[in-house]
């Protein structure tokens, strides 16, 4: 190569080489450096998409599977268990999600592999045990892989960009839910699984060809490649100093707090109680359970085209999550929680009145749809997103890892619990009874927020 060119290479296994050339002494453009950080981060985060599709899978498939002659028949009582196994898998694997011995890239590959195997099992499913195994594997792949995606983004991106990219992880999950609602009702059970198996294979393929991060290169002894990559990504920094910092971080002891530390410390214990209360009230306000059975709910309330109503429900959920993730951190979170708790309570009362008075039949056939859309919107921007945004306000930085893991695990188990409760009440007593339960939880959440949630304004969260 000519002397007036500087070549930045990153060699991967399987003889994959990424080459960047910068003519003369020019520094690589900011655009090129950002692309090299953003594009791999997006490819890594795509691992969450097949999980999101499986999260949304029950709504379009349950109306078929509970009918006689279904490809894999299940009863309504079994439906909540099938839904819950996704959360069980997510919970079981989450404690292992921050392991960095194998490298974030290979952790993502493991997670994507489990998700791919899970979708193939769903495609070949013969009975309920195949469904349970499929959802467990996909949940386990996501629980482990999501932590590895966060590690990968942290290592490949500069700090400010890493925070933005990490915030988008949940949005990919909810985009998957929207995808499931958009084509799930219009294809049969097998074709739905085949489509998602192919998608999972493509995501796995992208994961295999992800570039290694500077940390992974240093840890594996590929110092030349590490120096060249650091020089490309951060031309304003001293490469030697960055190498030293990376080595120090690799060898540094883990100073993170454990769960027992949270319980022993009085102030942290109080923060933990507040956090657990918010997670509990968030789940028992019922929005996630209604997503699982949304198409059945709209059928029961006599809404025209229930599959399209369910899709609108999922779209509002996605948009509200986007707003909650990027806009709510700049607001007073206590006030947002109060607004959400009060709004959810009022809207649940209105939805109960609509059902009791049969306003969908007597007045306007889309009355329940409007009421439920407002309900999921108001819930998501507050009770659905604020608890995780409060982590840096309630806990020190050293507790971030254990609190985030605890949030994922407790949130998953509470989702499983309320989904089963909803299914039992919905099947045996109709829709009004579970909505009354949700109303009770949201009403108590108003009191809880007023008394226990600290009043801090305009504190931006970097946790996801």
Mean pLDDT of 122-148: 94
Residue-wise pLDDT for 66-100, tens only, equals 999 889 999 999 999 999 999 999 999 999 988 88
**What is the reported pLDDT for 246?**
76
Mean pLDDT of 316-330: 91
**What is the reported pLDDT for 215?**
84
**Does the pLDDT at position 377 exceed 90?**
yes
How far apart (Å, rounded) are the C-alpha atoms in residues 312 and 32? 38
Six-digit token string for 312: 């609108």
pTM of the model: 0.87
Characterize 439-453 residue by residue with b for buried, 16 or more Cβ atoms within 10 angstroms of its Cβ, and e for exposed: bebbbbbbebbeeeb
How far apart (Å, rounded) are the C-alpha atoms in residues 303 and 295? 10
Confidence of residue 28 (pLDDT cuts 50, 70, 90): low
CB 292 within 8 A of CB 60: no
Across the chain, mean pLDDT equals: 87
Region at 15 (left for phi over 0; alpha for psi -120 to 50; beta for the rest): left
**Does the pLDDT at position 457 exceed 60?**
no
How far apart (Å, rounded) are the C-alpha atoms in residues 53 and 99? 26
**What is the reported pLDDT for 26?**
53
Residue-wise pLDDT for 430-445, tens only, equals 899 999 999 999 999 9
Tell me the percentage of the chain whose pLDDT exceeds 70.
92
Confidence of residue 37 (pLDDT cuts 50, 70, 90): confident
**What is the reported pLDDT for 458?**
54
User: 104-123 and 128-156 helices cross at what angle (nearest 10)?
Assistant: 160
Confidence of residue 463 (pLDDT cuts 50, 70, 90): very low
Six-digit token string for 249: 């971080």
Residue ranges and CATH numbers for the domains of the chain are 1-252 (1.20.1250.20), 257-464 (1.20.1250.20)
Considering only residues 248 and 391, tell me which one the structure prediction assigns the higher pLDDT: 391
CB 61 within 8 A of CB 184: yes
**Does the pLDDT at position 122 exceed 50?**
yes
**Does the pLDDT at position 15 exceed 70?**
no
Tell me the percentage of the chain whose pLDDT exceeds 90.
61
Residue-wise pLDDT for 173-219, tens only, equals 999 999 999 999 999 999 999 999 999 999 999 999 998 888 888 88
Beta strands in 84-128 (DSSP E): none
Considering only residues 462 and 156, tell me which one the structure prediction assigns the higher pLDDT: 156
**What is the reported pLDDT for 179?**
95
CB 140 within 8 A of CB 89: yes
Number of Cβ atoms within 10 Å of the Cβ of 26: 9
Considering only residues 26 and 107, tell me which one the structure prediction assigns the higher pLDDT: 107
**What is the reported pLDDT for 20?**
47
Number of Cβ atoms within 10 Å of the Cβ of 345: 21
How far apart (Å, rounded) are the C-alpha atoms in residues 373 and 378? 9
């Amino acid at each position: 190569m000519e002397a007036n060119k500087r070549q930045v290479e990153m060699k991967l296994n399987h003889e994959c080489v990424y080459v960047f050339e910068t003519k003369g002494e020019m520094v690589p453009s900011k655009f090129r450096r950002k692309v090299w950080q953003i594009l791999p981060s997006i490819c890594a985060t795509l691992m969450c998409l097949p999980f999101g599709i499986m999260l949304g899978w029950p709504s379009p498939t349950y109306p078929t599977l509970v009918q006689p002659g279904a490809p894999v028949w299940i009863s309504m009582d079994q439906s909540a268990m099938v839904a819950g196994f996704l959360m069980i898998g997510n919970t079981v694997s989450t404690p292992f999600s921050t392991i960095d011995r194998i490298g974030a890239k290979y952790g993502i590959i493991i997670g994507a592999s489990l998700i791919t195997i899970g979708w193939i099992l769903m495609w070949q499913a013969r009975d309920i045990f195949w469904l349970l195994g499929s959802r467990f594997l996909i949940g386990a792949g996501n629980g482990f892989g999501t932590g590895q995606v966060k590690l990968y983004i942290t290592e490949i991106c500069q700090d400010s960009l890493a925070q933005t990219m990490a915030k988008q992880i949940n949005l990919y999950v909810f985009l998957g839910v929207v995808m499931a609602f958009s084509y799930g009702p219009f294809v049969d059970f097998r074709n739905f699984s085949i489509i998602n198996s192919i998608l999972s294979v493509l995501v796995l393929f992208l994961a295999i060809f992800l570039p290694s991060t500077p940390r992974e290169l240093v840890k594996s002894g590929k110092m030349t490649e590490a120096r060249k990559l650091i020089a490309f990504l951060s031309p304003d920094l001293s490469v030697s100093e960055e190498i030293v910092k990376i080595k120090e971080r690799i060898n540094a002891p883990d100073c993170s707090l454990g769960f027992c530390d949270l319980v022993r410390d009085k102030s942290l214990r109080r923060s933990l109680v507040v956090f657990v209360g918010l997670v509990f009230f968030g789940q028992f306000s019922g929005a996630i359970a209604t997503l699982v059975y949304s198409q059945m709910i709209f059928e029961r309330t006599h809404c025209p085209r229930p599959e399209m109503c369910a899709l609108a429900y999922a779209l509002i959920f996605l948009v509200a999550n986007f707003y909650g993730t990027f806009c709510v951190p700049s607001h007073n979170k206590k006030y947002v929680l109060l607004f959400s708790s009060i709004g959810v309570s009022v809207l649940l009362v209105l939805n109960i009145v609509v059902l009791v008075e049969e306003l969908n039949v007597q007045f306007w056939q889309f009355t329940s749809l409007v009421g439920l859309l407002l309900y999921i919107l108001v819930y998501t921007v507050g009770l659905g997103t604020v608890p995780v945004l409060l982590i840096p306000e309630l806990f020190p930085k050293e507790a971030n890892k254990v609190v985030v893991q605890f949030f994922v695990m407790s949130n998953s188990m509470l989702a499983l619990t309320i989904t089963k409760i909803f299914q039992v009440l919905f099947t045996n007593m109709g829709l009004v009874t579970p909505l009354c339960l949700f109303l009770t939880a949201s009403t108590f959440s108003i009191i809880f927020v007023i008394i226990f949630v600290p009043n801090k304004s305009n504190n931006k969260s970097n946790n996801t």
